[in-house]
């Protein structure tokens, strides 16, 4: 890590440092959502509700690749940043190596399992309609089974590169994948592939764009190889250290949050499918539009995670708390603006993707106005979950991750669907976001009082240092 990147962590004004790390990450996340929306936009041009529903059905399986990359990427980024805060470059390099090969292995296993159980998975995700089932299988074969490794490794490398302050490089790779996808979508869908195969064309464009983005990250690593602590050289000895357990322990909440988010979406899809194809298509589009706000605040929380982790490990608690406060204000303010935009412009936003006169257009408008109400609460929860991930508090981050998606919203889906059909489904999301945000604030207040801004270190930080010294002593032996 160069002096310029070290200054971002240690001396640069807080708000400027946050923007330096979070803005590129947020932009990358926005472009990531836009390219997901691009598929929906171009598929909407076909006028096929079955294709729109197939993309909705496939989304949880595709997004589970993010759960794998978060398991190793968020855990790895936190461990690398804390090692750099202690000036331990060797441990940082070993953390990067374990994260890289762990993510690669996990993705290969997942893609293989999807290939074996493809039809059962599509049916479970809500692809019960025969045409939707066929389209979803076609889409997942290309994006998950064939192109899954490129997708997950892109996200992982973005996390690792961001962990030492190179947010611009990390976000550029994610953004390039999205830009390539937006450009390639119409080429493959409407020029290279015959009518009726537009969804296959969209899938090929997605897989190819992620492959091109992976080439970019390879070039970046090659270019910075003499300056970076990141390493992809495998050393079996790392398995005998505390590094794997630490990365998996911190990455597990991020993985579970993404997994439960996709599980929740799967339950939503299955329940919406019982109300008809137009209902399922409209709900899928509303979720895509609502994802934009969530991914913007997710970009902020991911961007500031290394900054929080570095200052926590260095014992600079006053600066750490200032970063957290500014990040919460930035994320919730941005989410509130997105909520207002969704409420005011629901019709034109949904009409961007559903171009034909269909009941799915009206369904999408109603769903969007309901889903967006949870965005500010979700933003607050995202930032505070990242705080606990950054400070190596896996218990609280896991509790909040499961509260946000899984423990609360899945039971609420069934309750609201029974009490207020058919739109009651959408109320489960803002209700769970509100409950999770309130719990996150309480847990953070406990943490804040335990670690006063003026202290130079905490018992937890001391334990980390002792553990790190023990690992280094083990290496010497």
pLDDT digits (tens, 9 = 90+) for 303-360: 888 889 888 888 888 889 999 999 999 999 999 999 999 999 998 988 887 766 678 8
Q: Is residue 474 part of a domain?
A: no
Quote the pLDDT of residue 467. Answer: 41
Number of domains making up the chain:
1
Helix (H, G, I), strand (E, B) or coil at 185: helix
User: In angstroms, what CA-CA distances link 271 with 58, 126, 265, 268?
Assistant: 15, 8, 10, 5
- Report pLDDT digits (tens) over 40-85: 778 878 878 889 888 888 888 888 898 899 899 988 988 898 888 8
Q: Is residue 3 part of a domain?
A: no
What is the residue-averaged pLDDT of the chain? 84
pLDDT tens, N- to C-terminus, the chain (477 residues)? 556 667 778 878 888 888 888 877 787 677 767 766 777 778 878 878 889 888 888 888 888 898 899 899 988 988 898 888 888 888 889 999 999 999 999 999 999 999 999 999 998 887 888 999 999 999 999 999 999 999 999 989 998 998 887 878 888 888 888 889 889 999 999 999 988 899 999 999 999 999 999 999 999 999 988 888 888 888 888 888 889 998 998 888 878 877 887 788 778 877 887 787 778 778 878 888 888 888 888 888 878 888 898 888 888 888 899 999 999 999 999 999 999 999 999 989 888 877 666 788 888 899 999 999 999 999 999 899 989 988 888 888 888 888 878 788 889 989 988 888 878 888 888 999 999 999 999 999 999 888 765 444 444 444 444 344 333 433 333
Q: Is residue 329 part of a domain?
A: yes
Q: Is residue 357 part of a domain?
A: yes
Quote the pLDDT of residue 453. Answer: 52
Quick count: other Cβ atoms within 10 Å of Cβ 465?
A: 15
Print the domain residue range for 138: 14-467
Q: Is residue 438 part of a domain?
A: yes
- Report pLDDT digits (tens) over 404-441: 787 888 899 899 888 888 788 888 889 999 999 999 99
Q: Is residue 7 part of a domain?
A: no
């Amino acid at each position: 890590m160069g002096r310029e990147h070290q200054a971002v962590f240690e001396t640069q004004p807080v708000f400027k440092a946050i923007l330096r790390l979070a803005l590129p990450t947020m932009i990358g996340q926005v472009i990531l959502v836009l390219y997901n929306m691009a598929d929906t936009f171009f598929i909407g041009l076909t006028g096929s509700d079955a294709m729109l529903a197939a993309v909705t059905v496939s989304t949880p399986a595709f997004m589970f690749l993010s759960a794998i990359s978060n398991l190793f990427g968020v855990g790895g980024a936190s461990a690398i940043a804390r090692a750099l805060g202690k000036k331990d470059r060797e441990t940082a390099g070993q953390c990067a190596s374990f994260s890289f090969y762990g993510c690669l292995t996990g993705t290969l296993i997942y893609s293989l399992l999807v290939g074996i159980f493809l039809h059962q998975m599509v049916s479970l995700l809500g692809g019960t309609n025969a045409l939707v089932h066929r389209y979803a299988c076609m889409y997942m074969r290309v994006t998950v089974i064939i192109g899954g490794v490129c997708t997950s490794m892109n996200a992982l490398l973005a996390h690792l590169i961001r962990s030492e302050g190179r947010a611009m490089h990390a976000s550029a790779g994610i953004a390039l994948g999205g830009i390539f996808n937006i450009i390639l979508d119409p080429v493959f869908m409407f020029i290279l592939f015959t009518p009726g195969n537009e969804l296959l064309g969209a899938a090929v464009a997605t897989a190819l764009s992620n492959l091109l983005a992976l080439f970019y990250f390879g070039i970046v690593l090659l270019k910075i190889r003499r300056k970076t602590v990141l390493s992809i050289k495998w050393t079996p000895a790392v398995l005998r250290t505390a590094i794997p357990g630490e990365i998996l322990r911190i990455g597990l909440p991020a993985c579970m949050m993404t997994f439960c988010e996709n599980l929740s979406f799967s339950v939503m899809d299955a329940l919406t499918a019982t109300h008809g194809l137009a209902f399922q298509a409209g709900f899928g589009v509303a979720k895509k539009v609502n994802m934009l706000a969530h991914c913007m605040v997710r970009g902020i929380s991911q961007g500031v995670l290394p900054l929080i982790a570095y200052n926590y490990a260095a014992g600079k608690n006053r600066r750490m708390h200032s970063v957290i406060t500014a990040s919460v204000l930035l994320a919730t303010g941005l989410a509130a603006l997105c909520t207002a935009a969704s409420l005011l412009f629901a019709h034109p936003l949904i009409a961007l993707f559903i171009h034909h006169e269909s009941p799915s257009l009206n369904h999408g408008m109603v769903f969007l106005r309901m889903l967006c109400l949870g965005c500010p609460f979700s933003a607050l929860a995202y930032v505070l979950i990242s705080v606990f991930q950054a400070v190596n508090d896996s218990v609280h981050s896991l509790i909040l991750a499961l509260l946000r998606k899984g423990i609360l919203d899945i039971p609420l889906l069934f309750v609201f669907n029974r009490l207020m059909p058919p739109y009651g489904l959408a109320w489960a999301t803002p209700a769970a976001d509100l409950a999770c945000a309130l719990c996150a604030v309480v847990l953070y207040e406990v943490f804040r009082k335990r670690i006063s801004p003026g202290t130079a270190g905490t018992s937890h930080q001391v334990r980390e240092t002792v553990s790190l010294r023990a690992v280094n002593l083990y290496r010497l032996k």
